Amino acid sequence: MKKAALIATILISTTLHADDKYKASEYACHGVDKKIERIRKLQHQKHTSSKAEYYRNEKRELKKLQASCKKKKFSTE
């Protein structure tokens, strides 16, 4: 029982922490467009499949941040 509660707590806390990775703020929004462009250029190069997957995930998260920034009317340049 205690083991299951501990595992559930760890999973919930890591999920909450992961959501904070790209939380929209003026500071976080600054330079998002450049980061997306840099990753787009890196994606066109040859990489291992794990690195390519990393770039896809990173770009997806940055796109979510960009959308949040635009909703809050923060600059992404």
Supply the pLDDT for residue 22: 66
The rounded distance, in Å, linking the Cα atoms of 40 and 27 is 22
Supply the pLDDT for residue 12: 53
pLDDT in tens, 20-73: 566 888 898 999 999 999 999 999 998 899 999 999 999 999 999 999 999 999
What confidence tier does 18 reach under pLDDT thresholds 50, 70, 90?
Answer: very low
The rounded distance, in Å, linking the Cα atoms of 10 and 19 is 14
Q: Is the pTM of this model over 0.85?
A: no
Task: Please say whether the beta carbons of 76 and 27 come within 8 A.
Answer: no
